[in-house]
Structure 1
């Protein structure tokens, strides 16, 4: 089975003020369904209140990420599923719960990690 990364950038999540509680409830419900189904690997979101640090091989570091790359933010979930079709179905469930489109990618899991 392959692992799939289902994610969205923060800017994609445009939710009317009165719906945030329902979004949280619905998103947590989908994750609980994935856990019950035995397909959940891990998930979460980038803490945007903490700036990234770019660390070099020699141990030096500086505030900020790669200057040429778009910022990494938003939420993600990794599920282990038997097919791309099932991954698309789960991504659709997450999209419905979060009220925003989700990006689906095959996660290059390293079995030695």
Structure 2
């Protein structure tokens, strides 16, 4: 089986919509994600998942030059950022896309699907 990263992508409009949700509306989304996570686990597709703090909590480390540079936050031109993710195992891209569609419905947001690189000779 191949592994896939299902990324929940947020932008400013998404954050505004989430900020406008009532606690009850947020609980509905959290419950839907919990149900989705439980299904992934039951069906053997679950590897790992997590929600992330907002992009304001980001720290960037660049150790490609002579000295390590640590800066707060993302680059200024960033319009979208990773809000959460699932790492799943699926037999093929079509199966991963079906999982992503369910995850998107559960978290009420877009989900990007990206396969992990296969090891050479695997």
Question: Which TM-score bucket, shorter chain as reference?
Answer: 0.7 to 0.9
What residue is the counterpart of 2:115 in the other structure?
106
What residue is the counterpart of 2:103 in the other structure?
94
CA distance in 2, matches of 1:67, 1:19: 31
Q: How many residues align structurally?
A: 111
Greater CA drift, 17-26 or 71-80:
71-80
What residue is the counterpart of 2:90 in the other structure?
81
| More helix per residue | 2
1:63 counterpart = 2:71 = yes
Unaligned runs of 5+ in 2: none
Conserved? CA contact 1:54–1:65, under 8 Å: no
1:19 counterpart = 2:28 = no
Structure-1-length-normalised TM-score: 0.78
| More strand per residue | 2
Greater CA drift, 84-93 or 3-12:
3-12
Shift of 1:67: 3.4
CA distance in 2, matches of 1:110, 1:46: 28
Unaligned runs of 5+ in 1: none
C-alpha RMSD of the superposition = 2.6
Conserved? CA contact 2:10–2:81, under 8 Å: no
Deviation string 1:71-90 (CA, Å, 9 cap, x unpaired) is 64301101000011111111
